Amino acid sequence: MTQSRPFVAAGAAPIVLPPPRTPSPREAPTLNWGVVAPGSIATQFVEALQKYTAQKVVAVGSRDPERARAFADRFTIPTAYGSYTELVQDGRVDIVYIASPHSGHFEQALQAIEAGRHVLVEKAFTRNAREAEQLIEAARKRGVFLMEAMWTRFLPHIDVVRQVLDRGLLGEVHTVMADHGQAMEPDAAHRLFAPELAGGALLDLGVYPVSFASMVLGPFASVTAVGTKAFTGVDGQASIVVTAESGAHGVLNTTLFARTPTTASISGTRGRLEIEGSFYGPAWVRLIGRDNQPIDRFVPLQRDGGLCYQAAEAARCISAGRLESDLMPLAETLRIMHVLDTVRRDLGVAFPGE
């Protein structure tokens, strides 16, 4: 939904935000899904699928059989497995959703790929670029669909942003700003503070601003970061400056130490876009003119269940015989993983076993 406050210069047509072109998730072809690791993000994912799509979750797998059964009972899923191996070998499963901590993504996604299953892997895609390269190579060799579950890319308000950029409504873009910080209580047992689970702010929270800047600016020409480690040695906060080949800058921040505005903006020679609230979820978009006056705004009709859009995109691609999505290409996922590697090197953070 767009609520317009059109700006009209003398003799000119109003400048308004374009409506999103995002297809209805409910109209996507139905696939049978298997869910790996029934935790909080898997809960949100299945809730979104059951409420807003025609997708079917037919199996769930966990190393803990009781946990798998409890999840299956909660969502009326036919089959619960006490291992990931059993799930990926289930011939009814078309696509596997990997919802485990980052440390498990590579092994579990590779297992699903080798079993001939299509795969949707939670962000951040893997621990590092080396693992990402291996997954992409394996998926292409096996001929299966693979995508990073960067749900932001598939939301309606982001399609509005893409159209604004494509139409040049902001003029020449010079600055992108985005942040994602959450105030986490120090707890060595929590996955975000656990080095062995590839914890830290960057892979869980910071990937959102980095991915957003990559979408807007394209490949980065340079990446510079400073940061602070948490008490367990993972990255607790990072401030990142990137430059684009055009000379534009991205100023990005992530932290586990404080709740930040979680907003984003794109500023150009003709105006700017402001994404209000949690920019990475269904959000408002405002178009601001050079005179700093509001021109138009986009307000999403749906504020919950945003994870359904990535599932619908995967279903459309797979049904069309495509092995990756244009909205989140594997080459870009790999570039982003290289950026995250660079930031961690700057911060002096490495995970066990790397």
CATH 3.30.360.10 boundaries in the chain: 156-301+329-347
Give 3-state DSSP helix, strand, coil % of the chain, rounded to 5.
35, 25, 40
| Rounded to 5°, angle at Cα 53 from 263 and 121 | 60
DSSP symbol at 195: G
Cα distances from 285 to residues 49, 180, 263, 288, 300, in angstroms, run 25, 17, 10, 10, 9
Q: What is the pLDDT of residue 3?
A: 40
Identify the H or E element spanning 249.
strand 249-255
Q: What is the pLDDT of residue 227?
A: 97
Q: What is the pLDDT of residue 14?
A: 56
Closest CA to 122 of 160, 149, 91, 82: 149
Order of all β-strands in the sheet with 249-255: 2-4, 294-298, 284-289, 271-276, 264-268, 173-181, 249-255, 235-244, 220-229
Instruction: Say if residues 61 and 35 touch (Cβ distance below 8 Å).
Output: yes
CATH 3.40.50.720 boundaries in the chain: 31-152
* Mean pLDDT per 10-residue segment, the chain (354 residues): 38 73 97 97 98 98 97 98 97 98 97 98 98 98 98 98 96 98 95 97 98 98 98 98 97 98 97 94 96 94 93 98 98 98 97 91
Cα distances from 214 to residues 126, 129, 185, 241, in angstroms, run 17, 16, 30, 12
DSSP symbol at 263: -
Look at the domain 156-301+329-347 and name its fold: Dihydrodipicolinate Reductase; domain 2 (3.30.360)
What CATH number is given for 31-152 in this structure? 3.40.50.720
Q: What is the pLDDT of residue 277?
A: 81
Q: What is the pLDDT of residue 335?
A: 98
